[in-house]
Amino acid sequence: MKTVLGLGLLAAAVPATAASTDPLSMLGVNLGKNGSTLSAPMQIVILLTLLTLLPAAAMCVTPFLRITIVLHFLRQALGTQTAPSNQVLVGLALFLTILIMQPVAADMYRQGWEPLESGQLTAQQAMDQAAQPLRAFLMRFARDKDIRLFVELAREPAPRKPADLELKILIPAYILSELKTGFQIGAVLFLPFLVIDLVVASVTLSVGMMQLPPVMISAPFKVLLFVLVDGWNLVVGSLMKGFYQ
């Protein structure tokens, strides 16, 4: 009797073991009748993966990109090494980005989330509506040359009107445009400080001060010049006006 009972328990355990060792089940994918159902653990994994990519995506489609590049060039031009620190520069860029993007985020909320919450639109329709303000913002600063480049790379027909451009074309075009603009502003910021470095280097060489690096002598003059002209106000004001024009 015990032998028969043991064989019955073993037979009942075999299907359960086989099901638990199914590769798809172990990955959290449960194939239903249509073969497209994901289990809750798999959905959580996908959601967490997308959340890790969200900060990088948000940085690339906002003014944060240009602002951080310009502030980095400014610190290099001043020659202050780690002053201000990276945390301070990132914090400043973040708050300036929030100030610029607040109207765009408000429009995205009104056009996408509110109709979805009230049941007027489906999730896909809400996403399309919410993308319209972002698309308009990206088109303001994306250069035509960069847009044409990515249209050719994507091997898609040229759109009839700018509103027909997809985000997969606009986002990389916007990133290239912002990189060029940020480097242009950084090069302009370098010029006055480069003149100070050249003057100090020529003076130190003429008087025979070979032991003291010219950078150490020019650094206080560059900081003094930057403070006297109220450099932070000028740089931040110019950056903000460039996005509001």
Which residue has 């400080």 as its token pair? 193
Residue 117: what pLDDT? Answer: 79
Return the bridge partners of 38, or none: 29
Higher-pLDDT residue of 41 and 241 is 241
Please provide the average confidence, as pLDDT, over all residues in the chain.
77
Q: Taking 50 as the threshold, does the pLDDT of residue 228 lie above it? A: yes
Residues 200-208, mean pLDDT to the nearest whole number: 77
CA 183 vs CA 36, 58, 71, 193, 217: distances in Å: 46, 20, 11, 16, 27
Residue 19 — very low, low, confident or very high, per pLDDT cuts 50/70/90? very low
CB 59 within 8 A of CB 65: yes
User: What is the pLDDT at residue 71?
Assistant: 92
Whether the Cβ atoms of residue 63 and residue 100 lie closer than 8 Å to each other: yes
pLDDT of residue 37: 58
Tally of CB atoms within 10 A around 82:
8
* Confidence bin at 178 (pLDDT 50/70/90): very high
Per-residue pLDDT, averaged over 94-99, amounts to: 91
> Mean pLDDT throughout 69-89?
86
Q: Which range has the worst mean pLDDT, 96-100, 109-113, 188-192?
A: 109-113
Rounded to 5 degrees, φ, ψ at 29 are -105, 115
- Residues 6 or more apart whose Cβ sits within 8 Å of residue 74: 186, 189, 231, 235
pLDDT grade for 6, boundaries at 50, 70 and 90: very low
Confidence band, pLDDT 50/70/90 cuts, at residue 125? confident
Cβ-proximal residues to 206 (8 Å cutoff; 6+ apart), any chain: none
Determine the pLDDT at residue 210: 66
**Residue 211 scores a pLDDT above 80:** no
